[in-house]
Amino acid sequence: MDYLDELNEVQRKAVMATEGPIMIVAGPGSGKTRVLTFRIVHLMQLGVDPFRILALTFTNKAAAEMRERVSKIMGNEARNLYIGTFHSVFARILRYEAGRLGYPSNFTIYDTDDSRSLLKSIIREQALNDSLYKPAVVHNRISSAKNSLIGPAEYQNDVNIVADDQAAGRPKIGLLYELYAKRCFMAGAMDFDDLLYKMYYLLSQFPDLLYKYQNRFRYIMIDEFQDTNGAQYAIVKKLGDVHQNICVVGDDAQSIYSFRGATIANILNFEKDYSDLQVFKLEQNYRSTKHIVHAANKVIGNNRMQITKEIWTDNHPGEKIKLLKAGSDNDEGKQVIDGIFEEKMRNQRMNKEFVILYRTHSQSRAFEEALRRLNIPYVVYGGISFYQRKEIKDLVAYLRLTVNHFDEESLKRIINYPSRGIGQTTVEKALLKANDTGLRLWEVLERYDEVMPGSRAANAVNDFISKIKTFSLMLQTHNAFDLASHIAKASGLLHELYNDKTIEGLSRYENIQGLLNGIKEFTERTPFEAGKDPIEEEWVTVDGEILNEKNLDKSLGAYLQEITLLTDADKDNGTEDRIKLMTIHSAKGLEFPCVYVVGLEEGLFPNQMSMGSREELEEERRLFYVAITRAQHKLSLTFATTRYRFGNLTHSDPSRFIEEIDPRVIDKQFSHREMNASSHEERFSKVTIPVIKPPQYVHKTTSDFVADDFNQIQTGMEVEHQRFGVGKVVHLEGNSKEKMATIFFQNNVGSKKIMLRYARLRIVKTNMMQEG
């Protein structure tokens, strides 16, 4: 078994220990994925049926990578492995067993937006104070209840929880939870947390199913164990109870998801629950230079909460860590990109060897602009993901409603988009009726003539309903792509966007085309076969990747599940030569030759919202640890002394994390005194950061706004916008308080309406002879 030769001693022991409960504590870059994949390979070589091996990961990408690595060694046999994310694996099981829970097998998965908008309407229906009961707050409460396996009834009976809500002035949350759960059920929908909660419920309520799945999974492996929550642990513990071959892999120092209910307590519980636990510690780092490893150890040493382990490496010391100071967020962007450019030239590196890591999505803007200016290709992961865009959600809502008529959130979204004369009042009346009669919104609309006699909107409603029904009929005969393109046209959506000639309109149209292309790829990857149940018989698909030709789900429903559980981090562009931009959270599990950790300012990173307690601060520090340990060769840290936030200039101090690094491994481009002195100076002298070049820019902060500023902009002028480039003002409208300019941008071939009060424009050419 030559694959074992590629491992060090601890790794080999961890691979060979197949039986019983195992915990592998794996530091960053210690070959964790390699151990996991070889472990699977090893089990298969010992003759274990791949069908009995379950491996759970956090991202689809991690799952795909693991499967690919196993396939390389074992070939086709790897098809039958159960590898997937918690959510996708459980979603599949839940679809198959949906009947037991009274759910249809084509249930919809509500994303966070759907959950919140449903809660919003429930809060409104209950006539509760919506500044006290904010959907996001209520949703968080419900979410953490589900992640602790607390149902609506238990919630309302739990003295502590009730007291908590009472104390927070929100005693009705229990009721809202109950109503929310009911409405989800009525809509044939599960939210993200339900995929875990209902899975647990299934296993605890139906002994035959527990027996079935316990016996199916003889070996269970869990990646990133430090980021599992209570529900996930409980499910895995139940599933593994018969064979007890559970192997968890994780690193407490990289636990960064407590806001999602993840808890290091799982590690402690695991040790407690399995007394015969074997523990392996992978401490040798193969990824980073000595300097980087040294810095990482030093930083994490400031945390009190940790399992003792010391990461070490045999690698070259490497370059020192670069520390850069910038005057503003835009300057930071410029400096980092200049630095990347220089590094590229000096060491002949490709774009894809670089990553820029930040704490929050909003930080990406300055880097994007700097990259665009130098024409360097880049890709931003996460942020407003493709599937969050309005136009995409609109089309997806049509698709979802076609698959599941009871999906209330989708129905409400598109019932009058494009406008078809079914206004707010009509929907509200129907919704009221639905709640009165216990019918679903769809059912009310279906019987609209009899339930709501004499309504003016009747024709429009009937047309809409029959349109959707026509789409549904096509489910049996058309594949996902054909049906989706038909729906895009027949719904009027495509037409609506086609007529919009603004920059946004153009890009929306393109996005719809992009979505359709994506569906096309999906369809081609998974040929259509009508009326066949994809789940029974064999477990052949992993997160949309179909491995067995006979057993494929290529329907629209399968596509919808794939996209709701897919994140931007999953769309791997590994082959494209682009600089990558992402949050530190989404960089988990990845590595890059050159890493730029940016925005290292007190209040931003560590983030203001996470400095309430020592535990929170320690999680921020773990996040920083994750960030710097992504780097293989070159690590660069930057901070800006001033930064725009909501259009206002703010000042900040360098992050405390910078000082936690051993100064001997830092290559500072300025003196320590300068680091603080100049930021001090800037804070007290009244600085205005010009947007690009003074003084042509119309520039506004809330305090210094003068009406004259935007009055400089006149029809016919040529102006430059930071994001859209140079364009011509073709139309002006508005009053003395708010003025809109319609600007035609040449490079993008489209127009855009810009609110001048907030605009950052540079006047390129003032003289104009004619009005647009």
Partner DNA sequence: ATAAGTCATTTTTTT
Partner DNA sequence: AATGACTTAT
Catalytic residues: 32-33, 223-224, 254, 630
* For DNA, the closer CB: 111 or 165: 111
Q: Does 128 bind DNA (CB under 7 A)?
A: no
644 binds DNA (CB under 7 A): yes
Sign, CA dihedral 331-332-335-338, equals negative
Residue 153: how many other CB atoms lie within 10 Å: 12
In angstroms, what is the minimal distance from the CB of 243 to DNA? 25
| One residue of 34, 294, 760, 762 binding DNA per CB under 7 A | 760
Nearest approach in angstroms of CB 508 to DNA is 11
- 22-26 and 378-380: which strand pairing? unpaired
Rounded CA-CA distance 15/9 in Å is 10
| Tokens read off for 742 | 């319609």
Residue of 341, 300, 294 whose CA lies nearest to 320: 294
CB of 359 to DNA, least distance (A): 7
| Closest to DNA by CB, 318 or 727 | 727
Number of residues lying near DNA (CB under 7 A): 61
Contact between 30 and DNA by CB under 7 A: the answer reads: no
State which of residues 71, 148, 360, 462 lies at the interface with DNA (CB under 7 A). Answer: 360
Ordered DSSP codes for 426-494: HHHHHHHHHHHHT--HHHHHHTHHHHSTT-TTHHHHHHHHHHHHHHHHHTTTS-HHHHHHHHHHHTSHH
Q: Is the Cβ of residue 173 or residue 565 nearer to DNA in the bound state?
A: 565
366 makes contact with DNA (CB under 7 A)? no
Which distant-in-sequence residues (6+ apart) come within 8 Å of 744 by Cβ?
727, 728, 730, 750, 751, 772
| Minimum distance of DNA from residue 169's CB (angstroms) | 16
Element (H, E) at 122: helix 112-125
Q: Which of 418, 619, 612, 613 is closest to 499 using CA atoms?
A: 418
Please name which of 227, 378, 305, 296 lies closest in space to residue 597, comparing C-alpha atoms. 296
The residue among 328 and 526 lying less far from DNA, judged by its C-beta, is 328
- String of DSSP letters for 21-55: -EEEEE-TTS-HHHHHHHHHHHHHHTT--GGGEEE
Give the Å distances, CA to CA, from 21 to 285, 394, 432, 475: 25, 47, 54, 46
Query: What's the rounded Cα separation, in Å, for the pair 85 and 63?
Result: 7
Position among 82, 86, 217, 280 found at the interface with DNA (CB under 7 A)? 86
Q: Are 418 and 488 in contact (CB under 8 A)?
A: no
End-to-end CA distance of the chain: 76
Nearer to DNA, 144 or 485 (CB): 144
Contact residue for DNA among 382, 593, 690, 716 (CB under 7 A) = 382
Q: Residue 730 — φ and ψ, nearest 5°?
A: -105, -20
Least distance between DNA and beta carbon 256 (Å): 7
- Report if residue 615 touches DNA, rule: CB under 7 A: no
Nearer to DNA, 42 or 67 (CB): 67
Q: Is 645 in the site for DNA (CB under 7 A)?
A: yes
Q: Which amino acid is at 416?
A: N
Find the binder of DNA among 275, 499, 735, 770 (CB under 7 A). 735
Q: Which of 26, 514, 509, 555 is nearest to 254 (CA)?
A: 26
Query: Between 646 and 685, how does the x/- string for binding to DNA read (CB under 7 A)?
Result: xx--------------------------------------
Q: How far is the CB of 349 from DNA (least distance, A)?
A: 25
* 144: contact with DNA by CB under 7 A: no
CA 179 to each of CA 102, 116, 191: distance values in angstroms, whole numbers, following the listed order: 17, 13, 14
Q: Which is nearest to 553 in space by CA: 567, 542, 566?
A: 542
Out of 59, 254, 266, 632, the residue judged to bind DNA by CB under 7 A: 59
Q: Is 306 helix (H, G, I), strand (E, B) or coil?
A: coil
Is 200 a binding residue for DNA by CB under 7 A? The answer is no
User: Counting contacts by CB under 7 A, is residue 510 touching DNA?
Assistant: no
SS3 label, residue 78: helix
Residue closer to DNA (CB basis): 664 or 737: 737
Asked if 55 touches DNA (CB under 7 A), the answer is no
410 belongs to the binding site for DNA (CB under 7 A): no
Q: Which stretch binds DNA (CB under 7 A): 300-308, 312-320, 629-637, 734-742?
A: 734-742
The minimum distance between CB 491 and DNA, in angstroms, equals 15
Nearer Cβ to DNA, position 554 or 585? 585
Nearer to DNA (CB atom), residue 476 or residue 613: 613
CA–CA separation, 27 and 252 (whole Å): 9
**Candidate list 198, 309, 359, 634; residue touching DNA; CB under 7 A:** 359
Interacting span for DNA (CB under 7 A) from 243-251, 296-304, 485-493, 567-575: 567-575
3-state secondary structure of 650: strand
Contacting range for DNA; rule: CB under 7 A; set: 247-255, 465-473, 629-637, 755-763: 755-763
With respect to DNA, which residue has the nearer C-beta, 281 or 739? 739
* DSSP per-residue codes, 379-414: EE-SSS-GGGSHHHHHHHHHHHHHH-TT-HHHHHHH
- Give 164's contacts (C-beta < 8 A, 6+ positions apart): none
Nearer to DNA, 38 or 592 (CB): 592
The stretch near DNA (CB under 7 A) out of 23-31, 179-187, 401-409, 752-760 is 752-760
Could you tell me which of 438, 431, 390 has the C-alpha nearest to residue 408?
431
Single out the residue of 567, 678, 696, 715 in contact with DNA (rule: CB under 7 A).
567
325 binds DNA (CB under 7 A): no
Tokens describing residue 262: 């993840």
- Going by their DSSP bridges, the two strands 666-668 and 22-26 should be labelled as unpaired
Nearer to DNA, 129 or 669 (CB): 129
Q: Which stretch binds DNA (CB under 7 A): 71-79, 279-287, 360-368, 654-662?
A: 360-368
Distance CA 455, CA 434 (A): 16
Stretch that binds DNA, among 157-165, 414-422, 523-531, 628-636 (CB under 7 A): 414-422
Binding to DNA by CB under 7 A, coded x per residue (else -) over 258-287, reads -xx---------------------------
Min separation Cβ 335 and DNA, Å: 19
Q: Give the Cα separation of 628 and 288 in Å (integer).
A: 9
| 96 vs 536: CA distance, rounded Å | 7
In the complex, minimum distance from the CB of residue 249 to DNA, in angstroms, rounded to a whole number: 17
Nearer Cβ to DNA (468/566): 566
CB of 484 to DNA, least distance (A): 23
The contact mask relative to DNA for 573-612 (x = CB under 7 A, - = no) is ----------x-xx--------------------xxxx--
Residue 426 in contact with DNA, rule: CB under 7 A: yes
Whether the link from the prior residue into 654 is cis, omega within 30° of 0, is no
Tell me: does residue 571 bind DNA (CB under 7 A).
Answer: no
Chain residues in the site for DNA (CB under 7 A)? 58-59, 85-88, 111-112, 130, 134, 192-193, 256-257, 259-260, 359-362, 382, 390, 416, 419-426, 456-457, 565, 567-569, 583, 585-586, 607-610, 644-647, 691, 722-723, 733-735, 737-738, 754-755, 758-760
